[in-house]
Amino acid sequence: MTPIPGEPLGDMITRLDGSGFSHSGIATGDGDGQMASAHMSFCRTRPFDLGGIRGDHVSHFWELGQSVYRLAVRPEVPRDPALERLASLRSPDDDGTFSVPKIVIVAIALATFARDLAPESALEVRRLAFEAARAWEGVPDRRQFYCAELVARLYDRPFAVSALEPVDPQRPAPGPPAQEGFLDSLLVRTLGWLTDDDLQAPYDRMLAAVEKAMPTFLDQAAVDILLSPFLHDGGPALAQGRRTPVDRPDDPAAERLPYSLVTPRMLLDAPWTADHVERIVGPDAPLAPPSGP
C-alpha cells in the first residue's frame, strides 16, 4: 500500500526505506479483497487500542486514500502454511498489538545509512539496533508486530543482513528537531511504557547511541510516530516506486536479518516474490499515483 496522504508515519517509512510503499499485508481469500495486516488504529477506528493484526477489505485502504498493489509469491512458495500461521496468531478476542518499539528500531537502523553520518557512529548505532531487534526476536510468543515483519514471519522466509541497506544512495539525513528536548523525551517515555523490562536494556543502549550520533532523530520520529493518528495534511500520494531490475540473491549461508527489521521494500525485492506488482482497481480506488523512476 502507498502511504495515507499526509500521514507522518507513512512518510517516514518511505523516506527512510527508499520505496513508495509504506504498508503491507497478506490476502486472506481467493480474490475477495480481504486482507490481514498489522497496523496502528487507535484514535481512528478503535479508541484506546494500539492496533494489531487487523482484517480489512481493500476498500478500507482506499477510503484512507491509499493505493493497493498485489505482489504475488512465486509458484513454488506455498501460501497455506502462511495462512495457517496467521490463524494461529489472530483471533476475534485477541489480535495482538501493533509494535511501536519495533517501528522505532527499524527506523533507526535505516537512518544509519544517511550519507553524512560518520561511518563509525553509523556502525555502532546499527549494531545496537540489531541487538535490540534480536532481543525482540527471542520472545516469539509476544504477538507484537508491524506490517512487513508480520508478512515475513507468516511466510517464514529469511532475509540476509545485506537486504537492510537501501539501494538509493541519496539517503536523507535525519531531519531538524521539531522541539528538541521535549518530543524525544516523550517518545523515550512512551517506548519505556511499551517495552517489557527484559527488553529494556538493549533498547536503552540503542537510544543512548542515537542521541549521541543523531541528536535530532528521535524528535522527528516522535512527530512521525506519535502524532500519525492525528495528522493528515492531505498531501499527494506517492508513486508506487518499484525498483526494477534489482539483484535479489538468495544465499542460505548469509547472516539472517531479524524479522523485526524487515521493511515493505524488502518484500518487493525478496527472491520468493514476483518481479512486478499489479495495482488493484475498483470503483472506490483512488486515482493511480504518478509512476516513479
In a domain? residue 287: no
Per-residue pLDDT, 141: 67
Smallest Cα–Cα separation from 217: which of 112, 72, 98? 112
In a domain? residue 284: no
Smallest Cα–Cα separation from 10: which of 69, 67, 20? 20
In a domain? residue 163: yes
Structural domain boundaries, residue 107: 8-279
**In 10 A of CB 64, how many CB atoms?**
18
Which grid cell is 251?
544465499
Mean pLDDT of 87-100: 82
Which grid cell is 165?
541497506
The Cα–Cα gap between 273 and 237 comes to 24
Measured over all CA atoms, what is the biggest interatomic distance in the chain, rounded to whole angstroms?
Answer: 51
Would strands 97-98 and 144-145 be described as parallel, antiparallel, or unpaired?
A: parallel
In a domain? residue 103: yes
Beta carbons within 8 Å of 274's beta carbon, 6+ residues apart: 71, 72, 73, 74
**Span 99-152, pLDDT tens digits:** 888 888 999 999 999 888 899 999 999 999 999 999 888 666 677 889 999 999
In a domain? residue 109: yes
Q: What is the DSSP string of 130-152?
A: HHHHHHHHT-TTS-EE-HHHHHH
Per-residue pLDDT, 168: 63
Beta carbons within 8 Å of 281's beta carbon, 6+ residues apart: none
Residue 248 has pLDDT above 70, yes or no: no
Q: How many domains does the structure of the chain reveal?
A: 1
Residue 44 has pLDDT above 50, yes or no: no
3-state secondary structure at position 120: helix
Handedness of CA 127, 204, 200, 101 (dihedral sign): negative
Would strands 97-98 and 69-70 be described as parallel, antiparallel, or unpaired?
A: unpaired
In a domain? residue 286: no
pTM more than 0.75 = yes
In a domain? residue 113: yes
Mean pLDDT of 156-182: 65
Per-residue pLDDT, 47: 41
Mean pLDDT of 212-229: 75
- Residue 66 buriedness (CB in 10 A; 0-12 / 13-18 / 19+): buried
In a domain? residue 291: no
Which grid cell is 36?
490481514
The Cα–Cα gap between 190 and 71 comes to 34
3-state DSSP helix/strand/coil % of the chain, to nearest 5 = 40, 10, 50
